[in-house]
Chains A and B, each alone.
Chain A
Amino acid sequence: MLDQPIARIRNLRVQFCTTGGLAGAVEDLSFDLHAGETLCIVGESGSGKSVTSLALMRLIEFSGAEITDGRILFDRKSGAEVDLARAGSDLMRQIRGNEIGMIFQEPMTALNPVFTIGRQLSEGLRHHMGLSRKEAWARAIEALRDVRLPEPERRMVQFPHQLSGGMRQRVVIAMALACAPRLLIADEPTTALDVTTQAEILALMDRLKRESGTAVMFITHDMAVVAQIADRVVVMEQGRKVEEGTVAEIFEAPQHPYTKTLLAAVPRLGDMRGKPLPERIDVAERSSHPPVPVRGTDAPLLRVQNLTTRFPIRGGFLRRIVSNVHAVEDVSFTLMRGRTLSLVGESGCGKSSVGRSILRLVDPLSGSVDLDGTDVMGLDAHNLREARRHMQMVFQDPFASLDPQMPVKDQVAEPLRNFCTHRGDALWDRVATLFDRVDLPRSFMARFPHELSGGQRQRIAIARALALNPKLIVADEAVSALDVSVQAQVLNLMLELQADLGLSYLFISHDMAVVERMSHDVGVMYLGRIVELGPRDAVFETPAHPYTKALLSAVPIADPRKRATRSPTFAPIPSPIHPVGYRPEPSRYDEVAPGHFVLHHDIPLS
């Protein structure tokens, strides 16, 4: 750590111009950034983390905000110090991308969809370094190689949508690093990614920082990530800094109550060791309730057998099916009443497809699904609609799964209306009860989805799923978009409901710590198949399949003393796409322990 800070933020204040006048987003914020150091900024959603980073880049003006006070002193490459808060736009253009690089929150949308990767990468190089087209191209390939993107030459001429989320994020990082900036701002660079990819990217950033001495400002709400990479931590709440310190200080001796809540809400892998049943997370304020394990029953509710779902890829002149995506391949499991079965695995391994197939939201190719005696696969359209009373789904993205044009009360009431179970006042009473049930104030009923926070939206989705008193809820990544404190609340809510109503969950997630806390049983999926299935403690404590082991080892641990030193592998996952005639082998399992199954035959593993 060098003595001279690269950037000093002093009393920064950023305000949005709204119809109601100026509204503060960041108030009186001060901190320093040193070369070769990673500063993590943590805090819940909406606490002003992104605004701070945009203010540093002076990009905040384009969102209708203004830096109304404070200074951002930045030490330029040339050695001169400028106040970015007052710099002219020409000067800012020289600094942006050149001396300060930025990685944005959303890898999916941060790239321009109509330009090739190469074009977007070399653009900045040509602008700042005055390179020729050819030189810039070569440098861009170099940059891609630096972020360990496989086959960089081929990627250069591809478009963003042709890359997976992890690859895209690596491109964005390469872009930010291309001109060797002195300061790198990374705004939640891994939130949308699954654990294996996340681990790779964290390792990559760490290495770059060490090699080039860049200062990194890392924004996240994931405490486990913080523990893995931070040197120093700034905790923000509602636009203000509430605490600052080294990682060790923050994790071991948090001062501010907010920091304490935050840390308490973090599920840690291994917390549940020795406890076979799921339990509430003990968030500080609620410590009066002792955590009660959820027991469940042994009566089967959902029986899935040999479920196979393929998505056709059509082509040719007559739009014939030329190949299939084998999204779900011969999956069988049984879910007991009042219990939770979790499906884990990498992005794209078919978890959501299993959930959707069971609810017949996509039509499976073959297999049988038996829900409490009803053969779901055999239902006609009318009976299927009836059967939906008993099985509900909470979708991956709470924002996307709510109609933006409809007040939330109507969305919760919609299933009731569909089945005409309640009318008039009874209907609204029921909706109000549901709001109470998921812990939402009734005054929120007339709001629209965008007027709620992510956690609140997810509760609406849960309330909607509960409306008809279903027997089964498929929770597809129900909490992965939320920050830790909200996530803890939602998880606790789900457990509470399970205990009270005897619900069964098919819980889909890629977050191993959450899964550990929530489930009775776990199925590990890989390339459309379940590779390992068994009681949660068995799978987590004695993983038998090599993929399960790899998955568990990639999970970041929210403890600064247990930093992973593994170097990333960057091997691509084999493709689930096969030509039409392809006949996969049926899944055969070895029972390694009672109820603990492991896929028998070899499947290609990375």
Chain B
Amino acid sequence: MACLIPASAMIDRSTDPAPIPPSSQWDDLWHQFAAHRGALVGAILFAIIVLTVFMGPYFWTLDPSYIDIRARNAGPTFAHPFGTDQLGRDTFARMMAGGRVSLSVGIAAMVLGLVIGAAVGVTAGYFRRLDGILMRLTDLFLALPLLPLLLVMVMLFREPLSANFGPEAGIFILIVAAIGLTSWMPTARIVRGDVLALKEREFMLAARSIGTSNVQMILRHILPNVLSPIMVSATLGIANAIITESALSFLGLGFPPDFPTWGRLLFDATDYIQQNPERVIWPGVAISLTVLSVNYLGDGLRDALDPRIRGR
């Protein structure tokens, strides 16, 4: 495909009035994606994790918060394949419940952080006038102490959010917002740098010369071209969000205490690292696997989306 077209192809006037098949692009994308071995492995792994976590509870019906005090601190058994915790709750069920929360928070917070970061980065890079002020804003956010910021957010918004969305959804929104609002800065910096370089490219001038407005310019030309750094930020963003969520829960700023998440399971288990090492291993492995699969997925997507690499 990418090989050079012989000169004859340019002369032969093909009169095939083939209408443009718009769907072939997606086929092509998939074809490209599937060719990337790492991406495929990552995608399958991620799919397995997501499926287990979301569909698992239909097959493993134990309630993650059911306390079976006689089975405390049990190692893996037939009844509890992943063992139990200090109150006798089933770790497997808790892992799945925790995974649902962690994955949702991770992805939602990452998306939020990415959207803010990309928006700030693109705006700063594209509109010179706003550059100074937006970058100083980024500095400000980098400098803000996280904990007091979160405390203020929780204080101001927990009740209104719980009232409007119910306690769990309310907290979910709050946590996602908190993590998203405090993690967009590196993305913004990187994107801004790329946009600045992009702006100097001639096709931007060309696009302007055909009357493309600023908004169209950003949507059509800037965003697709800064996708690659955004992908990297996305990968790191998920890991960061999952870990930050655990820190928040630990500080009492996160989900209610009976609400398991991977980060929290890991944190709670560290005290038992000697008695029940498997309790640390499960969440640790789950987080690492998720991040790893997302990383490979991101690599593959980036390659698939970059037309220059396609067909290699």
Contacts and interface: CB of A to CB of B under 8 A. Distances in A.
Direct contact of A and B (CB under 8 A): yes
Interface of A: 18-19, 23, 44-46, 238, 285, 356, 359, 361, 385-386, 388-389, 392-393, 395-397, 400-407, 409-410, 414-415, 417-419, 428, 431-432, 436, 439-443, 445-446, 448, 450-453, 455-456, 461, 464-465, 467-468, 485-486, 489
10 contacts: A19-B311, A46-B4, A403-B203, A403-B224, A405-B305, A441-B12, A441-B14, A446-B20, A451-B311, A453-B5
A44 B210 contact: no
Which of A44, A397, A442, A452 has the most C-beta atoms of chain B within 10 angstroms of its own C-beta? A442
Interface in B183-210: 201-203, 205-210
B8 to A, nearest CB: 9
Interface string B276-312: 0000000000000000000000000000011110111
A388 B210 contact: yes
A440 B224 CA distance: 26
A303 B35 CA distance: 56
B307 A392 contact: no
Given A401-B203, A418-B213, A406 B220 contact: yes
Contact of A414 (B3, B11, B15, B212): B212
Contacts of A410: 220
Contacts of A19: 35, 311-312
B205 A401 contact: yes
A393 B210 CA distance: 8
Given A19-B312, A238-B6, A450-B308, A361 B211 contact: no
Contacts of A401: 202-203, 205-206
Contacts of A18: 3, 312
A456 B11 CA distance: 10
Nearest to A450: B308
A455 B10 contact: yes
B185 to A, nearest CB: 26
B214 to A, nearest CB: 10
A450 B203 contact: no
B61 interface: no
Return the 4 tightest CB-CB contacts between A and B, nearest first.
A46-B4, A441-B14, A448-B307, A400-B202
B79 interface: no
A405 B224 contact: yes
A243 B216 CA distance: 51
B221 A406 contact: yes
Nearest to A286: B11
B52 interface: no
A464 B227 CA distance: 25
Contacts of B25: 407, 446
A404 B7 contact: no
Contact of A486 (B10, B201, B221): B10
B16 A441 contact: yes
Given A45-B4, A361-B208, A385-B213, A405 B225 contact: yes
B10 A456 contact: yes
Contact of A453 (B4, B15, B18, B308): B4
A405 B311 CA distance: 14
B184 to A, nearest CB: 23
Given A409-B20, A415-B211, A428-B19, A451 B216 contact: no
Given A442-B18, A443-B14, A405 B307 contact: yes
B206 A439 contact: no
A451 B209 contact: no
B186 to A, nearest CB: 23
B2 interface: yes
A452 B15 CA distance: 18
Contacts of B11: 285, 489
B254 to A, nearest CB: 39
Given A414-B212, A464-B210, 10 more contacts: A19-B311, A45-B4, A388-B209, A403-B203, A405-B227, A419-B211, A428-B20, A448-B307, A450-B2, A453-B10
A403 B224 CA distance: 10
Nearest to A489: B10
Nearest to B214: A381
Contacts of A485: 7
Interface centre among B24, B201, B209, B308 (most CB of A within 10 A): B209
Interface residues of B, number: 48
B17 interface: yes
Contacts of A44: 7
Interface centre among B18, B19, B207, B216 (most CB of A within 10 A): B207
A451 B225 CA distance: 17
A279 B96 CA distance: 76
A440 B19 CA distance: 14
B6 A456 contact: no
A415 B210 contact: yes
A446 B311 CA distance: 14
Contacts of B206: 393, 395, 401-402, 461, 464
B308 to A, nearest CB: 5
Contacts of A448: 307-308, 310
Nearest to B312: A19
Given A393-B209, A406-B221, A443 B18 contact: yes
Contacts of B310: 448
Contacts of B3: 18, 23
B35 to A, nearest CB: 7
B307 A404 contact: yes
B13 interface: yes
Given A418-B211, A489-B10, A395 B307 contact: no
B203 A402 contact: yes
A380 B288 CA distance: 55
Nearest to B227: A405
Contact of A403 (B2, B13, B221, B311): B221
Contacts of B14: 441-443
Nearest to A485: B7
B210 A418 contact: yes
Contacts of A452: 5
Contacts of A356: 205
Contacts of B18: 442-443
B224 A406 contact: yes
Contacts of B306: 405
Nearest to B8: A238
Interface in B208-260: 208-213, 216, 220-221, 224-225, 227
A281 B12 CA distance: 18
B156 interface: no
B9 interface: yes
Nearest to A439: B13
A432 B19 CA distance: 8
Contacts of A445: 20
Contact of A446 (B24, B211, B305): B24
Contact of B202 (A396, A409, A455): A396
B17 A432 contact: yes
B232 to A, nearest CB: 17
Given A414-B220, A442-B14, A451-B1, A486 B7 contact: yes
B31 to A, nearest CB: 11
Contacts of B208: 361
Contacts of B224: 403, 405-406
Contacts of A385: 211, 213
